[in-house]
Structure 1
Amino acid sequence: MRVLRYALGSTLGVTLIGAGYLWWVLLSPFGYERPADVPTIRSGEHQVFVYGTLTHAPVRWLVYGRTGDPETASLPGFRQQALDLVTEPGQRVEGVVLNVSAEELRALDRYERLGYRYERVRIRLSNGGEAWVYRRL
């Protein structure tokens, strides 16, 4: 019984720490301040190419409040290396394109820690369309 109580207590502690971290990173008014030198976001719809955690619907729901209807896409001339994209002729990165509002793009910027951890740049996809993508600083 004592082992079971310890295991449940440890699991609860890990769960609470994980939930606290997600709240701090994704939802809290603390922990991220948009840098002054980051351009403002124009109103309207934006397309964002994602290739990592944001390809998963539950993560998108946590980050900006809905799962959306992503379209599969690929980015030619790059390969994925850990959390970044590296230029590599002849290679391609598979991912999805998200259609998001300006407010949802702000939430994605917060999640990616725009200006601190990532920059957001325009890229051309294999279908000829353009989208934003986050690249490591």
Structure 2
Amino acid sequence: MRWVYRTGLVVMIAIAIGFGYFWYTFQSPYGYEAPTNPPIVDRRLEHHTVFVYGTLRYAPIRWLVMGRAGTATPATLPGYVRDELDISPAPNKQVDGYTLSITSDELKQLDRYEHLGKRYRRVNVKLASNQSAWVYQRL
């Protein structure tokens, strides 16, 4: 009977560690300091468009980061090529991904997730649809 108690205790500890990891990675204010000069965001806009090509393509990740999955619309970024966790300029190439329509607060949450200023920078690009969008590019 002790093995049932010990197994239950191990499972509970593993769950707590898992939740702690997800909270620290996706939501906590610790471990990340916003850059002093982030890209200018027009606060008058109700929504911003972000082009995603990596982990943010997946609804569960967006839900963990922003608190909602949102609607992902298929989109193409011309003139770039995807290289694992990054994109880089490449004539006659394209990167397939999705666009998200998000609020300014959600953009801040994405900045935190992408570690803006430390791992990624946020740049404005023109999509194949001629729509302007933010995209995260590895530093």
- 1:18–1:129 CA distance, 2 compared to 1 (3 A): same
The residue aligned with 1:95 is 97
Give the Cα separation in 1 of the matches to 2:4 and 2:97. 42
Aligned CA distance change for structure 1 residues 75 and 39 (closer, same or farther; 3 Å)? closer
- In structure 1, runs of 5+ residues without a counterpart are none
- In structure 2, what is the equivalent of residue 34 of structure 1? 34
Pairwise CA distance, 1:32: 1.1
Give the SS at the match of 2:63: helix
Question: What secondary structure is seen at the aligned counterpart in 1 of 2:125?
Answer: strand
Deviating runs (4+, > 6 A) in structure 1?
1-11
The 1:11/1:37 distance shift into structure 2, 3 A limit, reads same
Identity percentage of aligned residues: 45
Gaps of 5+ in 2: none
Q: What does residue range 14-93 of structure 1 map to in structure 2 within 5 Å?
A: 15-43=15-43, 44-93=46-95
Output the TM-score relative to the length of structure 1.
Answer: 0.86
* Secondary structure in structure 2 of the residue aligned to 1:34: coil
Shift of 1:78: 1.1
Tell me, in whole angstroms, the C-alpha distance in 1 between the residues paired with 2:136 and 2:65. Answer: 15
Q: 1:124 maps to which residue?
A: 126
Q: How far off its partner does 1:70 sit? A: 1.6
Distance, in Å, in 1 between the alignment partners of 2:93 and 2:5 is 51
